[in-house]
């Protein structure tokens, strides 16, 4: 067995920093932060919706966290051992951990969380844990993962946001998507759910029985829902809220606020998220079933213009279905049909050659364009895209709805034609990219998976090969073929690699220590008055 000692000196330093020992933290106080928009549920084991990620990982925990350098930090698991063939992973669980209702956390909860919840209903769980055929529980503090094939990427998927451990005694035998736990969460984390005032806030209180010897330090965390962008900015300016991530404060305001002494702005805390802005198409019905149309749209879009004018320079043009952040591992390959600055003439020629003639009003086709309901920046992006699509004869109407309606339309009913969205590509393509394109990821009712309903048998084989190929050179060749197919079929048009901004009051200290940033626990955060 390969024994992984996670409490080495270097990792211990990261752990101490994460849970608040490295500095003289103060206890007490209430930290109010922006959650935009209001989450549809608190069931992070069912949906990876961004607003859920801002709240649920304060309540639930994963087996591990990851420091800002990407190193694993023990949370509910203290260590693991991996067999030489990579097909058995044994986790030693932390003792003395209780759920917020007082019941003990055990290996049975781990087994249930992975096999009965995450593999079944989580958007990314079926891929993250695809190779896990069974989990043995020889005792209450040991969980043995049995794999069909080595899955090194799995070890990057154990954060509270990505793979929350859930209480078996609350969910066993329940409808996982409709269980009461979704609105009344019970976890093991540093903060306990207290109240959800619909349309206003969610309140979490300090877990006085938390297993950690240090922290949490805050008495309360309050996630406020403020629909209006200008009101959110004003609340940050006057100190009503202390923290806002994922562009809850529009970039245009964040750029101005960073000049103040009492407000900080950072792009830190997103290193394991790897976000990509994109357009999803309905490939089964409607005006965008033809791949030539989708390629024309990709060709027309001025990605650099969107970055510079809408997101104030924070981002990088997409050049493929994979983020350029995968270049370090040799997996990214620049593809055609991804011009940084757009080419209207070339896009019109694609449509002309495909037989889409303009009518007397210069219109080739009409459609509806749904926009992700996550703030003003996305509305502005939609307005630009409407304009550029008009330049190539595609007339669209923009539709902007509340989060539950939008999620139901896109992922439950497939009642859309094109959809402006963003996805996390995470630290390995298996974890974040495969869910867009695999036939097995057409999962009606599951959020943030293959809503395009794209299916390609050759691609499915390549995705499977990419999961199991251990040789780096061979794996890079597989992913080049994957990207080549996707550049031709274009079921999704990647727009740009996002750089999110976090705006915070400078009296809030140690909000980070985890690569998950705002999706971490805030267990080490404190207020310096």
Question: Rg of the chain over CA atoms, in angstroms?
Answer: 23
Helix (H, G, I), strand (E, B) or coil at 102: coil
C-beta neighbour count of 397 within 10 angstroms: 11
Task: Give CA–CA dist 355/138, Å, rounded.
Answer: 65
Are the C-beta atoms of 79 and 7 separated by less than 8 Å? yes
Instruction: List the single range of 20-34, 115-129, 215-229 with lowest mean pLDDT.
Output: 20-34
- C-alpha torsion 166→167→169→175, nearest 10: -30
pLDDT of residue 513: 77
pLDDT tens sequence across 314-355: 999 999 999 999 999 999 999 999 999 999 999 999 999 999
pLDDT of residue 6: 54
Instruction: List the single range of 15-29, 336-350, 473-487, 508-522 with lowest mean pLDDT.
Output: 15-29
- Look up the CATH superfamily of 275-498: Dipeptide-binding Protein; Domain 3 (3.10.105.10)
Q: Is the pLDDT of residue 12 over 50?
A: no
Three-state SS letters, 458-489: HHHHHHHHHHHCCCHHHHHHHHHHHHHHHHHH
> Interhelix angle for 291-300 vs 376-391, to 10°?
110
CATH second-level architecture of 2-21+44-51+62-182?
Alpha-Beta Complex (3.90)
Burial 174-191 (b: 16+ CB within 10 A, else e): eebeebebbeebbbbbbb
List the domain boundaries for the chain: 2-21+44-51+62-182, 275-498
2-21+44-51+62-182 shares its CATH topology with 275-498: no
**Phi then psi dihedrals of residue 401, to 5 deg:** -125, 175
Helix (H, G, I), strand (E, B) or coil at 179: coil
Q: To the nearest whole percent, how much of the chain has pLDDT over 90? A: 91
> To the nearest whole number, what is the mean pLDDT of the chain?
94
Predicted confidence band of residue 22 (pLDDT cuts 50, 70, 90):
very low
Measure Cα distances from 287 to 52, 291, 306, 417 in Å: 33, 10, 24, 7
pLDDT of residue 23: 53
pTM: 0.91
């Amino acid at each position: 067995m390969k024994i992984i000692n996670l409490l080495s000196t270097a990792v211990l330093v990261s752990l101490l920093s994460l849970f608040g020992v490295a500095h003289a933290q103060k206890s007490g106080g209430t930290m109010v932060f922006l959650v935009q928009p209001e989450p549809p549920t608190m069931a992070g084991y069912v949906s990876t919706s961004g607003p859920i990620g801002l709240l649920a990982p304060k309540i639930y925990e994963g087996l591990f966290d990851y420091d800002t350098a990407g190193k694993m930090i023990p949370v509910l698991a203290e260590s693991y051992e991996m067999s030489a063939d990579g097909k058995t992973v044994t986790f030693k669980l932390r003792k003395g951990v209780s759920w917020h209702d007082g019941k003990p956390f055990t290996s049975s909860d781990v087994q249930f969380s992975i096999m009965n919840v995450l593999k079944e209903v989580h958007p990314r769980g079926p891929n993250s844990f695809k190779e896990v055929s069974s989990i043995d529980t020889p005792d209450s503090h040991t969980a043995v993962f049995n794999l069909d094939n080595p899955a090194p990427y799995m070890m990057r998927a154990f954060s509270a946001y990505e793979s929350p451990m859930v209480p078996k005694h609350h969910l066993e035998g329940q409808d996982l998507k409709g269980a009461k736990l979704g609105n009344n969460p019970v976890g093991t984390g540093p903060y306990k759910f207290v109240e959800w005032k619909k349309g206003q806030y969610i309140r979490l209180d300090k877990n006085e029985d938390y297993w950690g010897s240090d922290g949490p330090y805050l008495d309360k965390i309050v996630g406020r829902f403020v629909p209006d962008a200008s009101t959110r900015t004003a609340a940050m300016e006057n100190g009503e809220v202390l923290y806002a991530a994922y562009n809850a404060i529009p970039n245009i305001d964040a750029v101005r606020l960073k000049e103040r002494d009492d407000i900080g702005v950072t792009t830190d805390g997103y290193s394991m998220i790897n976000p990509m802005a994109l357009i999803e198409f309905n490939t089964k019905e409607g005006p965008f079933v033809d791949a030539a149309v989708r390629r024309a749209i990709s060709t027309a879009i001025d990605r650099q213009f969107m970055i510079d004018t809408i997101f104030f320079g924070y981002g990088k043009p997409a050049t493929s279905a994979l983020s350029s952040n995968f270049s370090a591992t040799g997996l990214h390959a620049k593809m055609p049909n991804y011009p940084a600055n757009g080419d209207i003439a070339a896009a019109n020629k694609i449509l002309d050659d495909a037989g889409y003639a303009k009518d007397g009003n210069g219109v080739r086709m009409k459609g509806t364009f749904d926009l992700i309901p996550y703030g003003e920046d996305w509305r502005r992006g939609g307005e630009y895209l409407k304009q550029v699509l008009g330049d190539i004869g595609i007339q669209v109407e923009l539709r902007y709805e509340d989060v539950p309606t939008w999620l139901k339309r896109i992922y439950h009913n497939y009642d859309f034609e094109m959809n402006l969205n963003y996805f996390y590509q995470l630290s390995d393509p298996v974890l974040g990219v495969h869910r867009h394109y695999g036939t097995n990821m057409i999962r009606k009712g599951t959020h943030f998976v293959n809503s395009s309903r794209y299916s390609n048998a050759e691609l499915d084989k390549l995705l499977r090969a990419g999961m199991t190929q251990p040789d780096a050179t061979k794996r890079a060749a597989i992913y080049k073929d994957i990207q080549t197919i996707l550049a031709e079929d274009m079921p999704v048009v990647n727009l740009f690699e996002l750089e999110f901004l976090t705006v915070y009051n400078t009296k809030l200290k140690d909000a980070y220590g985890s690569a998950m940033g705002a999706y971490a626990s805030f267990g080490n955060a404190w207020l310096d008055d």
